[in-house]
Amino acid sequence: MYKVFVNDKPLFLTNQIIKETDFQFFLLESVDIEQIIVKMFQDKIQKAFLYDADEKEIMKKLKAKIPVNKAGGGLVYNKKGEVLFIFRNGKWDLPKGGTEKAEDITDTAMREVEEETGVNQLRITEKLQKTYHVFRRNGKYKLKITHWFKMETDFEGTPKGQIEEGIEKVAWLNPEQIREALTNSYENIKLLFDVDVEEMKQAASDK
């Protein structure tokens, strides 16, 4: 099952037939995907499931219905075990951005982190999950697929937000601050911390 966020509301892609309760259920093959997206942006649909019997083909079929943007981002740790966050559009987020032509996705992720925050000396230590969300640009809806990577850095300078990207501030947050920040963040960002927050809590309590 895939979880795609539309205006921070979940749109599930599934090969399981589920009886409707607090959500709406549609056949991926025949659904007007833009109509569903518009209704989710208008708060007329809070949660929906798109069904297709072939689990291996389900994401490919969604991509055929909506333009795709590929992006890379970083869950970046410093030597203190703090995580690098950016604050933009009134919410806490992680640095990420779209890939350039012929650019490897790992290079995209590291480039975007450095451009958006000024933090360099980055090392990728682990490939994390992909996240999916729909956004609107120039009147058209697109599916952004973000490839996330866990990174470490020895950077000791002062991070600086990329003004032209609307980044108001950049901060290194400790486990307690992360829990607070995630109360004002995006659902797809929270997915990346399902394990990490618990690990950081444990690490903090062990000290």
Domain coordinates of the chain in residue numbers? 2-63, 70-206
pLDDT tens track for 85-125: 999 999 999 999 999 999 999 999 999 999 999 999 999 99
pLDDT tens track for 36-83: 999 999 999 999 999 999 989 999 999 999 999 999 999 999 999 999
User: What pLDDT is attached to residue 40?
Assistant: 95
- Write the DSSP symbol of residue 119: -
Q: In Å, what is the CA distance from 186 to each residue of 26, 32, 72, 81?
A: 25, 25, 16, 22
Q: In Å, what is the CA distance from 141 to each residue of 32, 41, 144, 169, 197?
A: 13, 11, 10, 28, 32
Contact call for residues 8 and 186 (beta carbons, < 8 A): yes
Spell out the residues 6+ positions from residue 41 whose beta carbon is closer than 8 angstroms to its own: 6, 7, 136
Pick the CATH number of 70-206 from 3.90.79.10, 3.10.350.10, 3.30.565.10, 1.20.1630.10: 3.90.79.10
User: What pLDDT is attached to residue 196?
Assistant: 47
| Range of weakest confidence among 17-31, 93-107, 121-135 | 17-31
User: What pLDDT is attached to residue 154?
Assistant: 95
State the pTM of this model.
0.87
Strand-pairing partners, residue 71, are 98, 146
% residues pLDDT > 90 (the chain): 84
* Separation between Cα atoms, residue 187 and residue 10, nearest integer Å: 9
Closest CA to 157 of 144, 140, 170: 170
User: What pLDDT is attached to residue 21?
Assistant: 75
Assign 19 a pLDDT band (cuts: 50, 70, 90): confident
* Separation between Cα atoms, residue 75 and residue 199, nearest integer Å: 14
User: What pLDDT is attached to residue 120?
Assistant: 96
